[in-house]
Amino acid sequence: MNATTIENPVVLCDECTCGVANDDWSHLDMHNPRDAEEAMTTIKASLELYGRLTRAGDADMPGYFGCPLCGETQCGGGHLHSAAHAA
């Protein structure tokens, strides 16, 4: 699916796509509770900014990109979502 046809396109990493789809972030498997708390604070703030995210397909993006939810750098294609609000 082409990002130019999607209103407020957002490209997420595999982990955040799973979390958004299932509203379950336990798969992040962080061994340090402080790291997990910091990550969830960042993710929740980002989710509030974007509003509802609706999956729109796979993003065909070569190279690296930063996931706007978790802030992690990802390699290769991500997962395209339509956001309720533009960031």
pLDDT at 77: 83
Residue with tokens 């978790």: 70
Using 50, 70 and 90 to split pLDDT, how confident is the model at 3?
very low
**Structure tokens, 55:** 């999956």
Beta bridge partners of 66: 73
Residues 6+ apart with CB under 8 A from 72: 13, 15, 66
Instruction: Please tell me the distance from the alpha carbon of residue 20 to that of residue 10, in angstroms, as a whole number.
Output: 12
The amino acid at residue 25 is W
Residues 6+ apart with CB under 8 A from 47: 20, 53, 69
pTM for the predicted model, two decimal places: 0.81
Dump pLDDT digits (tens) for 35-78: 778 888 999 999 999 999 999 999 887 789 999 998 889 888 89
Distinct helix (H) and strand (E) counts, the chain: 2, 5
